[in-house]
C-alpha cells in the first residue's frame, strides 16, 4: 500500500522503519529541527533521520502534506488541526490499551503505576486527545525487568503488525466510556527519586525513565542519574549511575571513584 506517515519520536521512527519494508511511504510529516544538546544546535527528529535514510520525502508543515487516502500517525507530538483531519483518514498508533493512558507518556505511566499488562491501539484520529474510535488493539505483558525502551520496542513491533491488518479496510468501534486515564507529560518532578517512597515504586520509576530520560537522585551527597536499580531487602540499590558531567558506569565503580 501507499500512504503518508507522521512521526517525530523514536517510537514513531521504529514503526516507520518496519512499515517501509513492505509499503510505499508517500511522505513523512515531522516536527522541524529543534535546538538540542549542550551546544543547542539544531537537531532533526529521529523520524526525519529515518525518513532521510530510507529516501522518503520529508514535510515539516501539516498544511503542506500531499494528498493521501490515509496517513499513519505515531508519536508525532502535535495536535492535527480539524481542517487537516478532514483531508485524510488519520490512523493513530498509540502504545497503550486505550482508553487507559491517553496522552503523552503512556508507556512511562504504565510502568510507574505497576501495570502488569499494556498494549497498542490503532484509532481514528479525532480532535479530542486519543479518544477516537478503535480499529484494532493488542495486549502484551510488562515484564518485571522491562524498562521503557523494551516496552516501546514491543509496542512498535505489534503496532506495525496491527497496521498490516487494519490499513486495507479499517472499521471502527467506539472507545469504552469506563477506564479512561491520562498519561501526563513527564515533568522534572517525575524524574526526582523521593527516598521516603517504597523501594518498589522507586524501582519502577527508574525503569520507566530508562534509557531515554533518567531518574535523578542524590547519593553520597552528590547528584547522579540512576539508569538501573534493583530492590534488596526493602531498599532500592542502584546498579548503573551517571554522575553530573560524567559517563554511565556501575554503581560500585562510581563508589570506588569516590574513595
Please give the model's pTM, rounded to 2 decimal places.
0.95
**Among 127, 159, 183, which residue terminates a domain?**
183
Tens digits of per-residue pLDDT, 54-82?
999 999 999 999 999 999 999 999 999 99
DSSP conformational letter for 68: -
Q: pLDDT tens digits for 155-177?
A: 999 999 999 999 999 999 999 99
Domain that holds residue 232: 188-258
Is the preceding omega at residue 211 within 30 degrees of 0, hence cis?
Answer: yes
**Nearest-CA neighbor of 101 among 86, 111, 89, 90?**
111
Instruction: Please give the Cα distance from 123 to 91 (Å, whole number).
Output: 6
For residues 40 and 106, membership in a common domain is answered with: yes
Question: What residues contact 207, with CB distance under 8 A and at least 6 apart?
Answer: 111, 145, 146, 147, 148
pLDDT at 41: 79
Tell the residue number behind the cell numbers 531487602, with chain if given. 233
**Number of domains present in the structure of the chain:** 2
* Predicted pLDDT of residue 138: 97
- Whole-angstrom Cα distance, residue 185 to residue 164? 29
Are 173 and 192 in a shared domain?
A: no
Check whether residue 175 and residue 221 sit in a common domain.
Answer: no
Examine the fold and report which residue of 131, 160, 183 is the final residue of a domain before the chain moves on.
Answer: 183
**Whole-number CA gyration radius for the chain:** 20
Torsion of CA 121, 126, 127, 132, to 10 degrees: -50
Q: Looking at the predicted structure, is the pLDDT value of residue 39 above 70?
A: no
Q: Are residues 32 and 141 in the same domain?
A: yes
Confidence of residue 28 (pLDDT cuts 50, 70, 90): very high
Read off the DSSP letter of residue 116: S
Task: Report the chain's mean pLDDT, rounded to a whole number.
Answer: 95
Residues 131 and 145 reside in one and the same domain: yes
For residue 192, give the CATH number of its domain: 3.10.25.10
**49 and 119 fall within a common domain:** yes
Tens-place pLDDT, residues 240-259: 999 988 999 999 999 998 86
Task: State whether 163 and 237 are in the same domain.
Answer: no
- Could you give the CA distance from residue 92 to residue 33 in angstroms, rounded to a whole number? 23
Amino acid at each position: 500500500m501507499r500512504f503518508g506517515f507522521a512521526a517525530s519520536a523514536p517510537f514513531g521512527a521504529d514503526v516507520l522503519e518496519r512499515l517501509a519494508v513492505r509499503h510505499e511511504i508517500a511522505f513523512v510529516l515531522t516536527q522541524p529541527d529543534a535546538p538540542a544538546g549542550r551546544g543547542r544546535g539544531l537537531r532533526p527528529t529521529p523520524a526525519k533521520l529515518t525518513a532521510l535514510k530510507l529516501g522518503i520525502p520529508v514535510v515539516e508543515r501539516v498544511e503542506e502534506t500531499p494528498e493521501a487516502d490515509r496517513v499513519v500517525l505515531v508519536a508525532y507530538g502535535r495536535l492535527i488541526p480539524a481542517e487537516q483531519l478532514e483531508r485524510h483518514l488519520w490512523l493513530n498508533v498509540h502504545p497503550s490499551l486505550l482508553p487507559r493512558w491517553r496522552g503523552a507518556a503512556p508507556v512511562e505511566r504504565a510502568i510507574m503505576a505497576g501495570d502488569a499488562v499494556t498494549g497498542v491501539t490503532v484509532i481514528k484520529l479525532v480532535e479530542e486527545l486519543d479518544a477516537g474510535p478503535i480499529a484494532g488493539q493488542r495486549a502484551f505483558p510488562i515484564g518485571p525487568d522491562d524498562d521503557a525502551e523494551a516496552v516501546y520496542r514491543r509496542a512498535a513491533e505489534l503496532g506495525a503488525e496491527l497496521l498490516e491488518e487494519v490499513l486495507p479496510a479499517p472499521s471502527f468501534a467506539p472507545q469504552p466510556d469506563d477506564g479512561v486515564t491520562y498519561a501526563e507529560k513527564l515533568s522534572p518532578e517525575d524524574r526526582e527519586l523521593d527516598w521516603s517512597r517504597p523501594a518498589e515504586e522507586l524501582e519502577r520509576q527508574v525503569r520507566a525513565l530508562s534509557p531515554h530520560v533518567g531518574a535523578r537522585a542524590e547519593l553520597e551527597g552528590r547528584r547522579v542519574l540512576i539508569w538501573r536499580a534493583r530492590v534488596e531487602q526493602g531498599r532500592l540499590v542502584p546498579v548503573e549511575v551517571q554522575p553530573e558531567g560524567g559517563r554511565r558506569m556501575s554503581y560500585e565503580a562510581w563508589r570506588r571513584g569516590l574513595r
